[in-house]
Structure 1
Amino acid sequence: MQPGVSGKYRPFPTVPLKDRTWPDKTITRAPAWLSTDLRDGNQALFEPLDPAGKLKLFRMLTDIGFKEIEVAFPSASQTDFDFVRELIEKGHIPADVTICALSQCREHLIRRTMESLVGARRAIVHIYAAVSPVYMEKIFAKTPAEVVEMAVSSTKLIRELAAAQPDTEWVLEFSPEHFFASELPFAREICDAVAEAWGATPERKLIVNLPGTVEMTTPNVFADRIEWMCRNLKHRESMVISVHTHNDRGTAVAAAELALMAGAERVEGCLFGNGERTGNADLMTLALNLYTQGVASGLNFSELDKIARANEELTGLPVHPRHPYAGDLVFTAFSGSHQDAIKKGMAGRGGADAWEVPYLPVDPEDLGRGYDSIVRVNSQSGKGGVAYLMETAHGLVMPRRLQVEFSGAVQRHADAKGGEITPHALWELFSAEYLKLRKPVLYAGHHLIERAKGQGISLTVSVDKKTIGLSGKGNGPIDAAVHALGMPISLHSYEERAVSQGADSKAVAFVEVSMEGVKGMTFGVGIHENIVTASIKAVVSAVNRLLTMAPKELRTSLLEGLVED
C-alpha cells in the first residue's frame, strides 16, 4: 500500500460551528452511566456468556454502582429473552437500578421486547434507526422520509404498549445509528420527530443517544457534532443527550469526554473497553479520569484488581498489563530515574497533602493496591531481573502478577541489605515469602474423598502446635480445601506448572486469593511432587499471607474459629 493514495480515503467533513464553546469548558460532574457489557459487550465475545455468567456480571455491575444496565437484545434470541425474565421474576434487580433492552424498529421485535419487560419496576426501551446516507441508501434502501416514519411509528407502538402496562415506569431511548456519518439536519429532524411522537416533556424525557457507531475522525469533530445538536434540537429541554462511542481510531474515551464538555449528560460503554470491533468507550477509564480531577464518578473501583480478575474470568478477555489504571504494570517503574522520582515523591508527602507523586496520576491504594509493586528491581535498573533469575536459575516461571508482588519483597531486601542479590539469595527470599510459611497455620497432611459430585477432603493443620482435623467439600480439591478452612476467602486465579530444581522434577501451584476484611489480593505458592498436594499447600500459603495482613481482631477471630471447629 502506498501512503497518500488520492481518492481512496477522504477527509471527514468538519462541522460549521465557528463559535463552539466546548473547548473552554471542563467536566465538573459525572454523567449518568449505562453499562452495555451484557449486550454490546456480550455479543463481542468469542463465547457469549451463559445465564449464570450473565447474572454474575449483572451483580458485579450493580455492586460497582451502575444504575442503568442494558441487559439484552431480547427479541434476538430465546436466551436473551429468558435472561430478562429471570432478572425480573426472581427479584435480581435492585430498587435503584433500571434495566434496558434493545430492539430494532420493527413491530414484532418491539412487541417481543415489551413482553420481556413485563413486571419491571422501571425499564428503558432502546430503539435505533440508521440515519447516515450510506446506510439508508446502500444497506436498507430507504429514503429519509421512510426512516423517519419507521422511527415515529415504532415510538407510537411503544407508547401504546407502555400504556397497557401502567405499573412499569417506561423510558424511551432512541439512537440515530451511524450518527457520526449522518447529515446533521436530518439527525436533528428524526430525533425531534421521535420526541414529539413519544410526548416528551422536561418531566418525561426522551433519551437521545448519539453514537459514534464507527469512529471516523478526531474527537473534536464529534464534540462539534454534539454541541451542534444540543443547540439545534427543537425539544432539547425534553431530552437527555447520551453518547455511545466506539474505539475504531483509539479515541473513544477522548470522544466521550469532549462530548460531555459539549453538552452530553450520559455515557454508554463497557468495562475495560469491551465491545464490537475495537470496543466501546472504557467506562472504568472514564470514571477514574474524573476521579483524578476531583470529580466523584458515582462508580466504585476501590477493589479494581478484583473487578479486573472477575471480568477476565467471565469474558475470557485479558486486561492488558498497560491498560490505564487496571493494568498489572501501570504502577510499576523499571527505569532508574522513575524509581528515584517516585521514591522521593512518596517520602516527601504528608498524609493530608494533595496527591502529587511523579509518574503516578492516582494513588494506587485508592484502587485497592499497595505500594510494594511501585518500584521493581529488574535488568533495566541494573540489579538483575527478578523474573529472569527465577526462571533461568531455578526453573520457576511466575505469573505476571506474582512477579509484581514478589518484586516488592526483593526491593525491600535490597534496600535493607544493599549489594547484589545472588540467585541463591533470591530463592531463599522466595521460599521465606511463600514456601516456608508455617505460621499461623501449618499444613500437616490431607486425604481426598471421592464423592458423587465433586470431591471431599480431610485436611490436617496445626495452629499453635495444636493439631486440628478439618473437612470440606467442593467441585475439586482446591475448592474443598478452601471450604475446609472455613475462612471468608475467594480464589481469583490458579495456575500450575512444572519446575525443575536439582535432579527432581516437581509441580508448582500458584493461587491468587482475597479475604473479606483484608484489602487487596495476594498469592500463595506450593511445590510438591504431587500437583494436588502442591495446590493445597499453595492455598495454606495464601491463607497465612492474608492472615498476616488482616487486622488483629479479624485474625484472632478466624484462628479461634479454626481451633474451635
Structure 2
Amino acid sequence: MKNYQRYRKGYYMPPVIALEWLRKEHPEKAPTWCSVDLRDGNQALIIPMSLEEKIEFYKLLVNVGFKEIEVGFPAASDTEFQFLRYLVDHDLIPEDVTVQVLTQAREHIIRKTFEALKGVKNAIVHVYNSTSVAQREQVFRKSKKEIKEIAVEGAKLLKDLTEEAGANYRFEYSPESFTGTEPEYALEVCNAVLDVWQPTPDHKAIINIPVTVEMSMPHIYGMQVAYISQNLKYRDAVELSLHPHNDRGCGVADCELGLLAGADRIEGTLFGNGERTGNADIVTVAMNLFALGIDPKLDFSNMPAIVEVYERVTRMNVHVRQPYAGELVFAAFSGSHQDAIAKGMKWIEEKDPEHWTVPYLYIDPKDVGREYDGGVIRINSQSGKGGVGYLMEQKYGLVMPKKMREDFSYYIKDVSDHRHQELLPDEIHDLFMQEYVNVESPMKLIDFLLKKEPDGVRAGEVHFEIDGKPLTFSARGNGRFDAISNAIQKNVGVAYTFGSYSEHAIDVGSTSRAMAYVSVADKEGKTVWGAGMDTDIITASAMALVSAINRMGNA
C-alpha cells in the first residue's frame, strides 16, 4: 500500500516505570463510571438529540446505575445550557448522582458554565486544554510554559468561582491530546493544576488521561497511564480517570490496560458512540468485568430495552455483532456449534454447576435479558441436527428421536438453502407440523374399534379414507397399534418394515396431548419418519404410522 512512509509514531514513550501491574489478571473491582453520552456522544450524532430525547437518555443512564453523568458543555450552546437547567428545575438529579460539565480553560466559558450550575448540589467541573506537540505548534503556537499557564489559570478560576458560589464542586482536569504529549510534560501540567486545587482524600480531584486520538498499541497507553499514576502528586487524593477514543479500534483494550496500570475511573459511552470512530464502549468494558466474575456496578440485565432506547433517541444502530448487545452475538448457525451449545445447556441443566461453562457462549444470554429460544440457536442452511432438535425441544416440547432429528434437520437445511434465508422458530415448527405430523394424504385414519379377545389379541375394525373414499378394514394384532398396522399391510397394498417408535406428552393436565414418532423402511430399505399428535396416545401412535406411510409414498 502506498504512502505508508508518510506516517510515524506520534506518541512518546514514558520514562522507566514499575511494571508489576502487567502481572495482574484483571482489576480487583469495577472503576467509577462516567457516561459522556449526552455530551461527547451527542456531539457526534448527525442529528443531535432533542431536549426530550436527552432527558429520556439521561433517565436511562440513571436507571442503569451511572453515578456520574456528563450532561453537556453548557457554554457551547443554549440547548446545552437549557438541558442542565431543566434537570435542576425539575429536580431530576438524584442525591447519589453527580452531574459533570465540560469547559475549556477560558475565562468567559468557565463563567458561563458556573451560571448553568446554579442550584446543582453535586457537580464535577471538568476543565481542559490541549497539551500535545501538534496542538502547541500548529494551533496555539505557544510554548510549554504558556500552555501550562492556561491550565493553571483555569484551575484557579474554578476554585475561586466555586468558593464564591459557596458550593462544594469537585474538579477534573484533562491534558487534551495526552497521547500526543510528552508524558513528562503532561505530568508537569497535571501536578501544577493539583497544586492549585490542593485535593484531599476526603475531597478528591480527578485527573483525566484522554486518548483524544489513539496513536499507539494499547500496551503503550498502559505504560503512559502507569507513569502518570506512579508519579502524580497527591495520589491518594486523586481519582485517575481514562477517556479513550477508538481511532485504532482499541478503545476497550486501552481501558482494560489503563485499569491494570492504576486508573480508578473511566469516561465513555454506551456502545462506543463518539467523535470519529467513537469512544470507549462502556457496555463492553463493564460486561467484560462481569464475565470475569466482577460486579460491574452497572445493570445491563435488560440489554434489549437499553438498545431500543439508544437506537431510537440517537438514530444510531447497535451492530448485530456488537459484543453483548448485538442481535446475533449469542446466535449459532453452525451445526457443530449448535450441537455443542445444546449439549452444554443440557449439562448445565443436569449438573447445576457453580460457574457457567457452556461452549461458544461466553456468558449466559439470560443475564442480559436474551432468551435461548430463537436467540441462541438460529437456523439456516448451515445448521445441524443438534440445533434444530434443541430448538424444537426447548420451545415446543417436541423430543424427537435422534435419527428423526437428523432427518428433519436435513429437510430444514434444504428449505433454508432454497429460500436463501434464515428460518424463524415458528416457521420451523410449522414446517414440522405440515411435513411430518398427522399427514392425511392419500390415507387418512378416521377411527378404530379394537376389542381385547380372550387370547389377548386385539380385533375389530379400522376406518380409513383413502384418496377421498371411505373404507373399513378388519384388523387383528397383538395390540391396537399392531392390529392397525396389519390392516394397512393386508388391505392397502403397501409394504414396509416397522422401525422404531417413541412417544411423550407435550402438555400438562387433563387436556394434555401426546406426540408419537414412528419410522418405517420401504422395500429398498429407505427409512421414513412420521409423527402423530392426539389427546389419546394410541391414536397418536396410529396417526404417526399413517403419516410415515403417506410420506413414504410421497418420498
> Normalising by structure 2, what TM-score?
0.70
Distance 1:89 1:149, change over 3 A: same
**Please, what is the CA RMSD of the aligned residues?**
2.7
Query: What is the CA–CA distance in structure 1 between the aligned matches of 2:95 and 2:368, rounded to whole Å?
Result: 27
For the 8 Å contact 2:10–2:180, the answer to whether it is kept is no
For the 8 Å contact 2:129–2:151, the answer to whether it is kept is yes
The residue number in structure 2 matching 1:323 is 322
The residue number in structure 2 matching 1:486 is none
The residue number in structure 2 matching 1:365 is 366
User: What is the Cα deviation at residue 10 of structure 1?
Assistant: 3.9
Query: What is the CA–CA distance in structure 2 between the aligned matches of 1:248 and 1:221, rounded to whole Å?
Result: 15
Query: What is the CA–CA distance in structure 2 between the aligned matches of 1:134 and 1:410, rounded to whole Å?
Result: 63
The residue number in structure 1 matching 2:85 is 85
Query: What is the CA–CA distance in structure 1 between the aligned matches of 2:56 and 2:20, rounded to whole Å?
Result: 42
User: What is the Cα deviation at residue 8 of structure 1?
Assistant: 3.4
User: What is the Cα deviation at residue 347 of structure 1?
Assistant: 0.8
The residue number in structure 2 matching 1:267 is 266
The residue number in structure 2 matching 1:252 is 251
Q: Which segment is superposed worse, 406-415 or 150-159?
A: 406-415
Unpaired segments of 5 or more residues in structure 1?
Answer: 387-404, 434-565
1:156-183: CA deviations, max 9, x gaps? 11111111222x3200000000111111
For the 8 Å contact 2:12–2:183, the answer to whether it is kept is no
For the 8 Å contact 2:338–2:377, the answer to whether it is kept is yes
Query: What is the CA–CA distance in structure 1 between the aligned matches of 2:198 and 2:424, rounded to whole Å?
Result: 71
The residue number in structure 1 matching 2:382 is 380
Distance 1:129 1:427, change over 3 A: closer
Q: Does residue 1:225 correspond to 2:224, yes or no?
A: yes
For the 8 Å contact 2:17–2:223, the answer to whether it is kept is no
Distance 1:335 1:132, change over 3 A: same
For the 8 Å contact 2:11–2:179, the answer to whether it is kept is no
The residue number in structure 1 matching 2:354 is 353
The residue number in structure 1 matching 2:105 is 105
Query: What is the CA–CA distance in structure 1 between the aligned matches of 2:201 and 2:424, rounded to whole Å?
Result: 67
Query: What is the CA–CA distance in structure 2 between the aligned matches of 1:412 and 1:272, rounded to whole Å?
Result: 38
For the 8 Å contact 2:21–2:261, the answer to whether it is kept is yes
* Secondary structure at the counterpart of residue 81 of structure 1: helix
Query: What is the CA–CA distance in structure 1 between the aligned matches of 2:394 and 2:133, rounded to whole Å?
Result: 57
Q: Does residue 1:70 correspond to 2:70, yes or no?
A: yes
User: What is the Cα deviation at residue 99 of structure 1?
Assistant: 0.3
Query: What is the CA–CA distance in structure 2 between the aligned matches of 1:415 and 1:74, rounded to whole Å?
Result: 66
- Partner letter of residue 56 of structure 1? E
For the 8 Å contact 1:74–1:81, the answer to whether it is kept is yes
Distance 1:423 1:335, change over 3 A: closer
Query: What is the CA–CA distance in structure 1 between the aligned matches of 2:150 and 2:161, rounded to whole Å?
Result: 17
Distance 1:370 1:322, change over 3 A: same
The residue number in structure 1 matching 2:128 is 128
Larger Cα Rg: Structure 1 or Structure 2?
2
Query: What is the CA–CA distance in structure 1 between the aligned matches of 2:424 and 2:263, rounded to whole Å?
Result: 55
Query: What is the CA–CA distance in structure 1 between the aligned matches of 2:256 and 2:183, rounded to whole Å?
Result: 20
For the 8 Å contact 2:11–2:181, the answer to whether it is kept is no
Q: Does residue 1:171 correspond to 2:170, yes or no?
A: yes
The residue number in structure 2 matching 1:17 is 16
For the 8 Å contact 2:12–2:182, the answer to whether it is kept is no
Unpaired segments of 5 or more residues in structure 2?
Answer: 417-422, 431-555
For the 8 Å contact 1:377–1:410, the answer to whether it is kept is no
* Secondary structure at the counterpart of residue 169 of structure 2: strand
Q: Does residue 1:213 correspond to 2:212, yes or no?
A: yes
* Secondary structure at the counterpart of residue 312 of structure 2: helix
Query: What is the CA–CA distance in structure 2 between the aligned matches of 1:158 and 1:359, rounded to whole Å?
Result: 51
User: What is the Cα deviation at residue 192 of structure 1?
Assistant: 0.8
Query: What is the CA–CA distance in structure 2 between the aligned matches of 1:119 and 1:165, rounded to whole Å?
Result: 10
* Secondary structure at the counterpart of residue 30 of structure 2: coil
**How many residues are treated as equivalent by the alignment?**
412
Query: What is the CA–CA distance in structure 2 between the aligned matches of 1:412 and 1:212, rounded to whole Å?
Result: 54
Identity level (%): 44
* Secondary structure at the counterpart of residue 114 of structure 2: helix
The residue number in structure 1 matching 2:55 is 55
1:284-327: CA deviations, max 9, x gaps? 11111000111111100000011011101111111001000001
Distance 1:429 1:357, change over 3 A: closer
The residue number in structure 2 matching 1:461 is none
* Secondary structure at the counterpart of residue 285 of structure 2: helix
Query: What is the CA–CA distance in structure 1 between the aligned matches of 2:64 and 2:327, rounded to whole Å?
Result: 20
1:340-364: CA deviations, max 9, x gaps? 1111111112334310011111111
Distance 1:103 1:4, change over 3 A: closer
The residue number in structure 1 matching 2:505 is none
- Partner letter of residue 48 of structure 2? P
Query: What is the CA–CA distance in structure 2 between the aligned matches of 1:205 and 1:150, rounded to whole Å?
Result: 22
Q: Does residue 1:45 correspond to 2:45, yes or no?
A: yes
- Partner letter of residue 74 of structure 1? P
1:523-548: CA deviations, max 9, x gaps? xxxxxxxxxxxxxxxxxxxxxxxxxx
For the 8 Å contact 2:379–2:424, the answer to whether it is kept is no
For the 8 Å contact 1:200–1:238, the answer to whether it is kept is yes
* Secondary structure at the counterpart of residue 169 of structure 1: coil
Distance 1:95 1:340, change over 3 A: same
For the 8 Å contact 1:53–1:314, the answer to whether it is kept is yes
> Normalising by structure 1, what TM-score?
0.69
